[in-house]
Amino acid sequence: MNRPESPQGAVRRRAVSSVFAVLAAACGLHARAQTPLPGVVPGPAPVPRAAAPAELAARPLAQYPWVEFARAYFEGQNVSVALDTSRYPWTIGQTVDVWVVAHRSALEWDANPFLVDARGAPQSVTFSAGSVQANTFVLTNALSGDAGTSLGVGYDVVLDLDGDGKLGEPDLIDGLGAEAGFYVCKPTALAGPLAVTEVLYSGGTWLGEDIYYPTNIAALGALPLVVVSHGNGHNYTWYDHIGTHLASWGCVVMSHQNNTMPGPDSAALTTLQNTDHFLANLGTIAGGVLAGHVDSHHIVWIGHSRGAEGVARAVDRLFDGANSFATFTLADIALVSSIAPTDFLGTSSANAHTQNMSLWVGGADADVDGCVASDIAVSWPLLWRATGVRQSIELHGAGHGAFHDGGGSTVSAGPCLLTRLDVHPIMKSYLVPLVKRYTEGNIPAEDFLCRPWETFQSPGVPTNSCVVVDLQYAEMASTGKRVLDDFETNLTTALSSCGGTVIQTFDIYAEGRLDDPNSVFTFTASETFNGMCDGRATDNVRGAVMAWTTSDRGVNFEVPIAWRDVRDYTYLSLRACQSTRATETTAALGDLDFTLTLQDTLGHESSIRASAYGMGIEEPYQRTSCGTGTGWNNEWETVRVRLTDFTRDGSLVDLANVAAVELRFGPSWGGSSGRIGLDDVEFVRE
């Protein structure tokens, strides 16, 4: 959808925008009639004096902005090259060789500018005026994604505009720098390249360990350590699917006995003691083969259930100084990954603090069931208490026992139940990028954690219609992200947390704590925050809820003057959910579409539908109980749109002067009716 009309009498109430809109109209500056201007910053087209960086490697889309400049692709998946000629008008009419080159750093390009196509030969394309659609070409030939135990082979894309076979003026390159233009990845749901050895070890009471490592570890360096802490009634030998898989991708995995029956604090102590014992006894465990091959500074803790709360509590114990070890410190815990955690210990103790955290939730969990009747059975607060990078993976139909491989019941309730054969490949497909992201700083891994399941999933995962996966991804504050509104300060609805004005036209619009106010998911119109599970009474997690019925509505967040230049930012990001069991939700059950709009200080605007990327706001899992009605917790999903996508095809919107972000809903913009939650509207970097 390219530059849609404004909502009828709905959102555009901001005086400055309206004034400029009128002026623009009077001057004949209707967006559709505009002559495209080059560059992100309006002005005359600069002619590059050396090879210029550009976004080129792309995935075609069926609607505006027509292409997504994604970073990660799977082997065998089409990669396209796309050029927005409105930004590079000097390329129009040119027939150009497209080179796909094994990624080089800037220094390497300086040393060796000669182009060598990884496919054997470059590909000739001709650029034309008009939409990027007409200038999108599938890159021929398969590219290798074999990066050994790492994830993704980097390639740079070069448009050799002068045809000299070298990188230089006036060529365009996607990938000039530390990051490649794109990455081709092996399927992460499938085993990695290494054979795996498993050994059982016991170092004493609660020190039984099931250890997995690459069989040829003697030839490898120091590998990240993944520790698995099981749940109550579970067993440390029930995680072969995790241990074998991650070891095949170059990790050492240790699953240990866990003292869960007294509670998660005892489990936390067991996690700490096993981590310490393991690192302190590498010289003897498994005959000493691991000595020198475990990187004690890159540790991932994965816990399940009480053990999943335990790993957060273990971080808390290190954070508080209650425990310390010679073998590792808090800084060495690269990631805490909690699978269906309980929350017995609450805000102050079940808390991963500054560490990176991932959360796994099964929609059909019949034990830690997520029903708001008990805070203990609701996992989500653990995620939002952490302040590192946070991500969640929610699987419809996955029961509590589906996450281990111990057999027996999957401890599940609800429709469209998944088996372990469904769940484990999905787990594997995300575990690899999780571990690679936080132990290696792997770049393409971030795509796995951010891009919606619907459009980016590893070969090898189940594809039946019952498989629904929702992802959230939140950068930490220290990245310098610009949070327009997290609803946690400036608590009036007319003011965002960053101090900008908020104008909205919804039938219902409220800010509040993301905590269901009673013990059931039963919907009543007056219970605005029904189905919210992100915090308990002692957690400060807030957001907004808005509703509309068959009319166009919207909300406009002013960008403060000092923040209006967003060229240094990569994405507009937000998270949203549909309200469970609400009449507006059940009226048209399904992914809910909406439109994101950027407005600049001159009144130009550009709009993109979430569905353009295959995204939408997921409907809640259709499970009953926990009150009357159908639908489980509100399922948040992160929606990220690349800022330069708003500038596609000659859009006049100026990323150096963004005045407002507007979210539009209703028949003209997406779902006709809806009741949704909204949080964390922000500009983030890649």
Partner 1 sequence: MKRSWSIGLVLLGVAALGVFAIERVSGGTNGAPPRATRTGTEVQTLLLAVPFELEEPYVHAWRAERPSVQSGWLVVLEVDAEKVRPTELAQPVLCAGDETLERYHHGYEAGRVVALLPADKVFGARAAVELAARTFFFASPQLPEQIDALAISAERALAEQRGCAPFALPLVERAARRGGAPIVVKDRVELDRLAAQLILTYSPADRARAEELLR
In this structure, the number of other CB atoms found within 10 A of the CB of residue 539 comes to: 21
| Residue 536 CB, nearest approach to partner 1 (Å) | 15
List the structure tokens of 518. 């009673």
User: Which of residues 112 and 374 has its CB atom nearest to partner 1 in the complex?
Assistant: 374
| Residue 267 CB, nearest approach to partner 1 (Å) | 9
| Residue 316 CB, nearest approach to partner 1 (Å) | 15
Chain position carrying tokens 């409907």: 619
In this structure, the number of other CB atoms found within 10 A of the CB of residue 638 comes to: 24
User: Which of residues 51 and 285 has its CB atom nearest to partner 1 in the complex?
Assistant: 285
CA 259 to each of CA 36, 256, 266, 465, 563: distance values in angstroms, whole numbers, following the listed order: 65, 10, 6, 38, 50
End-to-end Cα distance, the chain: 25
User: Which of residues 264 and 666 has its CB atom nearest to partner 1 in the complex?
Assistant: 264
Task: Look up residue 365 and give its DSSP letter.
Answer: B
User: Which of residues 369 and 649 has its CB atom nearest to partner 1 in the complex?
Assistant: 369
| Residue 236 CB, nearest approach to partner 1 (Å) | 7
Helix (H, G, I), strand (E, B) or coil at 406: coil
Beta carbons within 8 Å of 257's beta carbon, 6+ residues apart: 206, 207, 208, 209, 236, 270, 274
Residue type, 275: T
Chain position carrying tokens 């060229």: 567
- Backbone φ and ψ for 133, nearest 5 degrees, come out as -55, -40
Q: What are residue 441's DSSP bridge partners?
A: none
Distance CA 471, CA 1 (A): 25
User: Which of residues 366 and 474 has its CB atom nearest to partner 1 in the complex?
Assistant: 366
Helix (H, G, I), strand (E, B) or coil at 131: coil
Distance CA 420, CA 410 (A): 8
Q: Burial level of 376, CB count in 10 A (0-12/13-18/19+)? A: middle
| Residue 369 CB, nearest approach to partner 1 (Å) | 9
Cβ atoms of 383 and 336 within 8 Å: the answer is no
| Residue 686 CB, nearest approach to partner 1 (Å) | 37
Distance CA 112, CA 91 (A): 25
Element containing residue 548 per DSSP (H, E): strand 542-549
Q: What are residue 471's DSSP bridge partners?
A: 393
Beta carbons within 8 Å of 28's beta carbon, 6+ residues apart: none
Report which of 185, 161, 187 is spatially closest to residue 173, judged by C-alpha positions: 161
User: Which of residues 149 and 232 has its CB atom nearest to partner 1 in the complex?
Assistant: 232
| Residue 262 CB, nearest approach to partner 1 (Å) | 4
User: Which of residues 365 and 680 has its CB atom nearest to partner 1 in the complex?
Assistant: 365
Q: Cα 532 to chain center, whole Å?
A: 20
User: Which of residues 259 and 429 has its CB atom nearest to partner 1 in the complex?
Assistant: 259
User: Which of residues 208 and 543 has its CB atom nearest to partner 1 in the complex?
Assistant: 208
Tally the residues of the chain. Answer: 686
User: Which of residues 375 and 470 has its CB atom nearest to partner 1 in the complex?
Assistant: 375
| Residue 479 CB, nearest approach to partner 1 (Å) | 34
Report which of 676, 672, 660, 662 is spatially closest to residue 552, judged by C-alpha positions: 672
| Residue 235 CB, nearest approach to partner 1 (Å) | 5
> What are the DSSP E strand ranges found in 108-187?
123-126, 136-138, 153-160, 172-174, 182-185
Helix (H, G, I), strand (E, B) or coil at 428: helix
| Residue 355 CB, nearest approach to partner 1 (Å) | 22
| Residue 306 CB, nearest approach to partner 1 (Å) | 5
Report which of 422, 471, 463, 456 is spatially closest to residue 74, judged by C-alpha positions: 456
Residue type, 344: F
| Residue 406 CB, nearest approach to partner 1 (Å) | 8
| Residue 250 CB, nearest approach to partner 1 (Å) | 27
User: Which of residues 175 and 208 has its CB atom nearest to partner 1 in the complex?
Assistant: 208
User: Which of residues 134 and 376 has its CB atom nearest to partner 1 in the complex?
Assistant: 376
- Write out the residues near partner 1 by the rule CB under 8 A: 200, 202, 204-205, 208, 231-233, 235-237, 257, 259, 261-266, 269, 305-306, 340, 342, 344, 367-368, 374, 376-377, 400, 406
| Residue 3 CB, nearest approach to partner 1 (Å) | 51
User: Which of residues 342 and 622 has its CB atom nearest to partner 1 in the complex?
Assistant: 342
Which three-class secondary structure string do you get for 646-676?
Answer: HHHHHCCCCCCCEEEEEEEECCCCCCCEEEE
User: Which of residues 348 and 540 has its CB atom nearest to partner 1 in the complex?
Assistant: 348
List the structure tokens of 115. 């182009």
